[in-house]
Structure formats: structure tokens, C-alpha cells
A and B are shown apart, each in its own frame.
Chain A
């Protein structure tokens, strides 16, 4: 059997796992591993500018491909800098394996230089973690880490590797395990057939059904089945922020996003539904508004691979634990072989009602923003980019108003195209994740929708884009304030703008982009919006920072009334409430 050092074993195990890309940043405790990376060819390593960037880039890679993202950082600050990105992946159930260097085993606990208890620090935000005690254990630990990260409800896994374990002077027999048996981990598979039968019967009897699909449909590769099922039944579909693209955004059955900034028609239809089919969604508080007022007349079917997600905040009438794919396939089969059909006249009436809601306040039946002013409206920027990219770009996003405008106005027809931090709401996510997406899809258009606040949280990654030539488009909806914070302060704090404005301190983003070797475009006048955007997107081979000055007074609507509102209680504009 081949003899390898711990460092070489780690890299070899990653190769045997099929890894071809690592995002990372070297440092003392990880140097043996970095040397092993230097001495091989098949794995490419992307040097980021901050470990948070590494985790977000790996996250973007994972979200856009479905494969686990891999991160390598050193101990201490390297590890703690990765924490935000690990938490981001954890909240959105993204498969990721984070390898952190650690001080030598005999120094652990002595407050050694760059020592931090990474397994302890990351414990609440990982699916699982390992501290490697012996080099011989590395192959099995790597195998387990990828298995755990990518199966069941995916999530990040940390492998903390003390430096002595990777010592090049000590060699051990290497064999990568072909199979794993873990008595303590059995991810859910098929759903219970009796529950599925009940769900099918309930759905067939529905008069006001809504399919509510979340990120689990994207992660679980269930989009095709979901689309087929919804079209077969002709039932309306709403997607969560994480689920956008799970059902085609341009399909007429799509109601738009639901929740805090969901469409009037999606939230109102949910409120009045008699049967809700929740698929891979977790009844997040940004969806349900006040749980006790959530969808009062609805029977709820909840499909999820994670039993702990079911009946956590909203009690399910028919819980189904299983993979989205297998449960949807079984349901579809049952619908197709059933003699029963939904009550067509009820469904027609339901659609008529929904269309009426769409006409009255829908985001897509008429512009719900100013179209005759001098200022550029953020919504029209997103629509313009949707047109220019023919609705086929990968869009990553930061967090705030721009994120909601992108979610509302860019219609995703395919899963894995919308890449955003939904659960943790991590500002700084957009740019590094865009780089991760671009590496995975070099021939595709990748747009990072951001704001002048978020972009500054990971702006150093502009340098990574230069080094690896990653031509992404950065679309900055610049309203010169922390827009969403300001919106809340205007709505709930009588306009006291506590620390949400920059007071003329913003950098010149065009010059900044140029300093990194990129192109910068500033768009201030409404009449030049379309031509300048087109010019910017015509630079296929360059990273372009597009700084668009938008109306700073604009708010995101609809916005659910909080606290104590129901799904349908929404502000539709600054003055209009449902």
C-alpha cells in the first residue's frame, strides 16, 4: 500500500472524492497541506483575499452546481473569519466541507499562537465536525465529511486538522474507503406511502390549493418533478426566496415569491388557501408572518427531508419525511394513475380570483413603481438587466433592498440560477459567491446584484477576480444608504435614520474598480440607463462594476405588516395598506 504523509493524504482524499476546486487562504497551521497542494495538478486552488470570501465563493460554487464547495483555511483568525460563511451555508442547507488548520496536537489548549477551538466555535453552525487525531483517520474522515455534507438535508462540515497530523516526515498507508457505514446517520429516503396517498387525496379534493416550494426543491433536484406536478394539476405555485427558480418564473401558474416582500397575489392566495402543499420549505418567520394567524383555513401537507423542519413553527396536517424527488415522483405517479380529478370548476374559480388579485395589485400586471420621474428606479434596473441577459444569467445577491428587488423582478426559469443568502442574510455574500459561480460556469453570464453597503463588506474580492480573470458583472443599486435599514427606520422609527447613511463618505466605485484592473461604469441619469447597461454587459471578458444611482427614497413593497399581521396584511406602497 502507498505511504503518504497526512498532508498528502488529505489532498489525495479530496482528489479521490472528485474535488477539483478549493477556495482558501494559507497560514502557518495549514502550510503542510498547502505544500501538498503545490505538488499536485488536478485540484485548482483559488486564493481569496479574506477567508469569508473563500466560504462564500465555495458556497456560490455549491449552489450553482449542486456539488459540495471546499474551503481550506488556517487556524485561529483564518478559522474564525470563515465562521460567517459557514453559518450562511448552514442556514441555507448548502453542502460545504471546510478544512481548517489547527495548532499541533500537543499545543491544543495552551493558548498557542493562532489557536482557536474551531470545532467549538463552529459547533452550532455545522451539520457535523471532525478533529483529526491521527493521520491514518484522514481518508475515512474526508469520505464521511462529504457524505454528511451532501446527503439528507445538506450542510457544512468542518474538518479541523492539527499541524502535526500533516507532518511530511511521517508516512502512513493510504487507502480511500469505497463504502461507508454510519450506524448513527441514515438520511431519509422515500416517503411513507400511506402519507403520500392521504396527501394525494387531499390535494385532489382541494378547491383553493397553493403549492409553496422552497430551497429544498432546488437543493433536492426536484424542480422538474414539481413543475410537472403543478402543470398536471394546474395548481398555482409560489416560491420562497430560497426556492426561486424551482418553478419557472415565467409560467403563468407562478404567483411570485411569498412572504415579507412577497407578491400580493402569492400572500393573499396563501391566506385564503384550503390546501397548502409545502415542498422543501421550512415555514420561516419571513414567510409566515404571525404563526397564529397563518393561513387559517388551510390543511397543510409538508414534504421535507429533515423531520425536524416539519411542524417546527406551523403544524403539518400531513407530514411526509423523504427526499423531495422521491416523494414528488410518487405523488405524480399517483395523480396520473388516479381516476379522480380536481374539481375543475372550483379550480377555474380559484384562478379567476387569483387573476383578480394580480390585476389589482400584482407586481407583474402593471409597474408598481414610478415610471415618469427623473430618477432611476431600482426595479427598472433589474428589469433592464433581465432583458439584457435574456433571463438566463446566474444572479447572485447581497442583502437588503436590492436583494428583494432582484427576487421580485428577475424571473428565474431554472433552479440554481438565483444565489442569495436567504436564511442568515449575510451582507458581503454577493461578490465572492459570484466568483464561485463564474468559476463553475465560465461561459455563463454572472451578475452580482448588490448595494453600496453590502459590496463594501467583501469588496477585497475584486482582487481575486483580477488574479483568476473572473469576468462578472457587479450591479450596484446605489441609494447612498443602508436601504432596508432606512426603510424600517422610516416606517417604524418615525424616520430617525440612526447610522444608516454615509454622509458623503462613499468611495468612487468606478475608480476603485479601475484600481483593481476592472472597468467601472457610473449611471446617474434615467435616459442613459439602458444604453449604458448594454455597453457594460457587452464587455464579455471584463469584470465590470456598474454603479447605478437609484431613487434613494424608494421602498420595497409589498411588505407584510409586522408585528402581529397575517400573510395577507401588507403595505402595498408608502400610503396603501391591504
Chain B
């Protein structure tokens, strides 16, 4: 009866430091809010900023005086930041952070769009277009990294996929042959990555970088020697058709974006859902996560660690290769040297920003896609912000997102570590 356990004794003594992560983010939002309300507000002309549904500039969904809007949304950002500093329950902090960022973007838009209009359909469509390869690339990363293999070769897989899709698509005269070849192109890079990092234990980051350079070199070489001299024979792949679903396609804004779209968009969206559930709810998923977290534990219960890693990296190659197909079979209609221009690295950032989860990676890819779309839009309407700065926007957003917003992302514990018995 006289025994007591320590838990029943006094509680923690030392105080929490005042500048928690939440408060630091709050402070950042307040600074952004000031920029929005004061700077954007004073720069914005006092004209209406109109956000319309479609390109024809009719039927504004929202019309607001640019100056008033910039100040209003800037103040809202301030309020969100203030709430974070004042201290709110933890479950609200992410929502407030998101609200703060959205209102800041709106404040910026009110300044930019004042006197002009922004079509939501075009914005959403462009965002989805630009995000599409990022979604597939990040999913490829999820497959590899959750099983413990770091994949920085997404860029190389994109390039090989784009190249193979264009070449075979043109030669076979079939977009589907192109699509399959693109997947094969991704798998080739994935197979080299897998063998070198799983079998020969080479540093995975180094292998990834080398593979990116390899893909850039070989596709660039073949492009110059093969495709450029005879573009009609090798570099005019048929384009993936858009499938219009009657009825659904008439829904405003969403209809044209999602229901008058290529198969690839649907593949990407379905893969997000499928991989999410498969990772969390199936035997394959449980084993994949176990192998990524604690391969020795998996081995001792009879799971073939290396075999599973091979499988996942190769599956990732298929997905990333399809992402590469987007560039030649959907977006542009021909292959050019280094046409992916770092999209693979942004996909990698989306993977980390999305905390190595399919849903998170999807959200992050949309965010980066939007940043890119915004830079195109702003230069199209002749924004006073210098063009160079606008083309920086997606990368800037990437850096801020990965460095500042996510905090410490916990990667799978055995990510990047080859599995060697004893």
C-alpha cells in the first residue's frame, strides 16, 4: 500500500520555450500579411479584379476592387498569423497556416488582377496539366522510398519516358505503343538504379544523380543524331486524345478540366488513390513499409527484403515513365533536349513536402503546379513583376515549402540504406 509510482508525482518542471514552431510560422504570416496589406494594397490600382469562370470574361464569379481586396486579404493573413502567435489548439494550427497562405496569395492576386480578369477554368486546367507529371513522378518516389530506396533519378526516368514515348510512338504510329514504351523507358533507368543500389550497394543518391546525367546525355545524343535529321520519321508522335464524357463535361470549371481530359490524368488520379490504399491496407503495403523502416525485422519474419525493393523500384519506374510520356504525348507533341527542365526534381520535392505519402505528394504536386501556372498567367497579363522573377516562382515555392513549411519530415527509417545481412 505504501508504494507510489513516479507518474503520480509532480509533473514536468521546465517551461516550453516561447518561440515554438507554431509561433515562428505565425510571425512569418504576420510579415506576409503586412507585405500584402501595405505593399500590395498601395501598389494595386483601384480597379476591379475579376475572377471569372471561363475565358470569355463574362459572368464573373467574384469581382472585387483590387486595392480593397489586397488590403482585405492581407489583413486576413495578419489575423491568421496573430492567431498562431496567440496560441491555438494544435489541430487548428495547420488549418490556420493554410488559410494564411491562401489569403496572402489572394492578396497578391487582387493586386495583379486589378483591371483584368483571371479565368478559374484556365487556372485549374493549367494547374492540373503542370501538376500531372509531378504527381506521377512523386508517386514513383513514394514507391521506392517507402521500401527504403532513395530515388533521385525521377528526372532521368521522365526524360527516358518522354524520349521513348516520342520515338516508339512515332515509329509505330500509335500513341498507346508510345505510352507503353515510355513506361519501359522509365523501367530501364529504374532497373539500373535497383541493381546498383540493392545488389551492388552503391550510394543511392550518387547513382541517382549519375543516372540523371546518363539519361540527359543519351537522349540528347539520340535526339541530335536521330530525331533532328528526320523529325517526321522519329519525332512526331501522335497525341493522346481527350475523352469527353457527355453530361459531366458540361459542369462549369470542373467539367472541361476533368471530364474532357486525357487518359493519363485519370491514370494519375486513380494511382494516387490505389497506392494510398495499397500502402496502408494490403499485405504488399505492410511489407513495403516494414522493409523501408526496419529491413532486418522484415527479414526475420521471412520477407524477401531485396526482392520487394526490386519490385517497388521497378513499379516506380513504370509510374515515372508514364509521367515522362506526358511531355511528348500530351503536352508538346515532340521531344526536345532536356525538355523536362528539372520537373523530376520538383517531383522529388513534392514527395518530401508530401511527407512520403501518396495523398500528401498529390497535394504538394498541385501546389507546385499552381505556382507554375501562376507564373505563366502573370507574364501573360503583363504583370509589372519582372519576368525573371515570375519564372523563379515555382522553384521559390518549392524551396519555401520544403525548407520552411513542412518542419521536420520523418523519412522511412531505412531510406537510402542498402540491406546487408550482418
Instruction: Answer whether A and B are interacting partners.
Output: no
- Which residues of A are interface residues toward B (Cβ below 8 A)? none
- Which residues of B are interface residues toward A (Cβ below 8 A)? none
